[in-house]
């Protein structure tokens, strides 16, 4: 038998069975509606879960923010309490400044004369002896030196020397001290007589400048 004849016999034996949907349309529609309901229910459940999770996260965030706010408020209260402890500082500082100003006004022209006396004892020439030393200082009344310079005080000396040259040496020693200017002698008298020993009695003075101030009472209060 040929191949073509065999193929035709096989095709003749194949039986085609038609497909027929015997379900009523209402049942098919009901099935599709149930599927849609299940899909919608699953979607609603998913949305509900998302909303719950978002609410939980928001609740945690709100709680954390409230805790941070409470901590900040507590820190603010603590700092405020600390600040309140220093409310009197400006008042005290003003009082210190006022007292410092009064002290500076009263003692700003202070000269440590003990230092000058010590220096004088070391620099005075050997052949010069002082019999008196007078300091005239008035904070409200500046003085003027013999050469017209302004000072804060005048120191007058009286003494004796073996010669006028020794008096000049004494005046030079005064000029070398800090804060002294324009030393000069007002008079010099040579003693005569058997008991005078040819001594020269003299009077001298020197002007004291601002440079002689100690500065101890003119310091400003620290801030």
- 10 contacts: CB under 8 Å, gap ≥ 6: none
List, for residues 165-209, the tens digit of each pLDDT value.
999 999 999 998 889 999 988 888 887 655 556 788 999 999 999
Answer yes or no: is 118 within a domain: yes
Q: What is the C-alpha separation between 30 and 139, in angstroms, rounded?
A: 118
Q: Is the overall model pTM greater than 0.85, yes or no?
A: no
DSSP assigned state of 54? H
Answer yes or no: is 3 within a domain: no
- 76 contacts: CB under 8 Å, gap ≥ 6: none
DSSP assigned state of 212? G
Backbone angles phi, psi at 161, to 5 degrees: -140, 160
Answer yes or no: is 6 within a domain: no
Tokens found for residue 221 = 């209060």
Q: What is the CATH number of the domain that holds 146?
A: 3.30.70.2830
Predicted pLDDT at 223: 47
Count structural domains, the chain: 2
Answer yes or no: is 93 within a domain: no
Residues 118 and 207 in one domain: yes
Which domain range does residue 59 map to?
24-87
- For residue 134, give the H/E element and its range: strand 128-137
């Amino acid at each position: 038998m040929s191949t073509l004849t065999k193929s035709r016999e096989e095709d003749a034996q194949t039986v085609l069975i038609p497909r027929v949907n015997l379900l009523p349309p209402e049942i098919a529609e009901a099935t599709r509606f149930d599927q849609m309901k299940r899909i919608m229910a699953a979607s609603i459940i998913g949305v509900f879960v998302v909303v719950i999770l978002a609410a939980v996260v928001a609740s945690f965030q709100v709680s954390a923010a409230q805790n941070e706010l409470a901590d900040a408020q507590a820190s603010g209260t603590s700092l405020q309490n600390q600040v309140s402890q220093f409310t009197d500082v400006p008042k005290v500082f003003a009082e210190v400044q006022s007292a410092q100003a009064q002290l500076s006004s009263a003692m700003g022209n202070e000269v440590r004369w003990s230092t000058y006396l010590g220096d004088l004892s070391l620099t005075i020439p050997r052949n010069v002896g002082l019999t008196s030393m007078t300091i005239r200082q008035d904070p409200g009344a500046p003085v003027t030196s013999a050469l017209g310079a302004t000072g804060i005080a005048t120191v007058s000396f009286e003494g004796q020397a073996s010669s006028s040259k020794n008096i000049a040496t004494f005046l030079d020693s005064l000029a070398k001290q800090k804060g002294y200017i324009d030393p000069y002698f007002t008079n010099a008298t040579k003693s005569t007589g058997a008991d005078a020993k040819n001594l020269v009695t003299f009077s001298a003075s020197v002007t004291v400048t601002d440079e002689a101030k100690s500065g101890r009472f003119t310091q400003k209060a620290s801030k």
